[in-house]
Structure formats: C-alpha cells, structure tokens
Amino acid sequence: MTITTLPRTNRPLTLRANTAGELMSPNPVSLREDATVREAMVLLIDKGFSAAPVIDEAGRPVGVLSRSDLLIHDRENVDMLGKMPEFYTKEELMAPGGEPLGKGFQVERVDRTCINDLMTPTVFCVAPDDSVHRVVRQLLDLKVHRLFVVDDRGVLVGVISAFDVLRHLVGDIVENN
C-alpha cells in the first residue's frame, strides 16, 4: 500500500464561488412524488445517487428519498410467500392474456408503495443568489448532506451537496491533484 503525503502549506482553502447558483449542480435528476419504490430504486442504483429530490407536478420539491429510506422500507416490509404447490395446473402456467409461460419463468412480486410514503417530507432550500457562506452554514447547522436550490416560484433548479462545496475549493491541496 502506498501512502501519499500532501505538501504542508499555510495557505488557506477558499471557495471558488460566491453564490448558491454558482455552487449548485443545475437541473438535478428528481423523482415524481407518485413514483414507486421500484422506480426509485432503479434510479438511485443506476445513477449511483445516494438520494434524490422528490417533486410535485409543478416541479416544487416536497421531500427527499435516500437509499437509506429504501433499505428501511425493505427491512420493515417482509413479504412472505404463500405455501408453494407441488404442482401447477395448465391454467396457472398461462399469462393473463392466455399465452403460455416459457420454461424457467419467474414471477416478481412488485412493491407498489409510492415513495411519498417513504420520503423525508422536510425540504431545506436556498435561493440561487444566497451566499456560499449561508449555504455552508445551513449544511452544517441542519446536519444535512444536500440543500435544494429553488427559484422565486419554489421550483427546483439545482441541488448543492457537500461534494459540490468540496469541488469548488481552491488551495494547494486541491490544485496539486
């Protein structure tokens, strides 16, 4: 294992942004409030997101859904299968339209729960013209990983995560890498 040491410096780290609008990731991927658990799981896993904003029909954030919310839901909702028969009738091996199921078929029990039943309904927002000082202070004071950026109508226009703040740091540590 190689351990790399960074050069020591007295030069402070500074943010290379002045406003929330400069700091945010614009047009964030979001979930509709009527999306199912399955849709949310596919989005979060496929995109590699730890969480996503949940929006209403007007595009306003109404909550946030995290992978942790999905794990808790999965843990609390154990779906036990009924006793499996030792044989199947010909009718049981037909799809609803009457077509026969192929060999080795599987039937998935899909969770139809809507994410608005699982999401955290608290939304912490900032305006695009809020200062980065206010953004960082809110992240720390609220002990959250992300803030939503909304326009004057309350419509979601961006998201600021702790990683967005780190990406905008300027100093010897950041510039040497």
Q: pLDDT tens, 55-108?
A: 999 999 999 999 999 999 988 876 655 555 566 666 666 777 777 766 666 666
Residue written as token pair 């028969």: 85
Q: Which domains does the chain have, with CATH numbers?
A: 14-175 (3.10.580.10)
User: Hey, how many other C-beta atoms are within 10 angstroms of the C-beta on 23?
Assistant: 26
How far apart CA 51 and CA 20 sit, in angstroms, is 19
Confidence of residue 156 (pLDDT cuts 50, 70, 90): very high
Does residue 140 surpass a pLDDT of 90?
yes
Average pLDDT, integer, range 9-37: 91
Q: At residue 3, what is the residue type?
A: I
How far apart CA 92 and CA 87 sit, in angstroms, is 10
Q: Is the pTM of this model over 0.75?
A: no
Does residue 109 surpass a pLDDT of 90?
no
Confidence of residue 14 (pLDDT cuts 50, 70, 90): confident
Tokens of 108: 């998935």
How far apart CA 151 and CA 132 sit, in angstroms, is 16
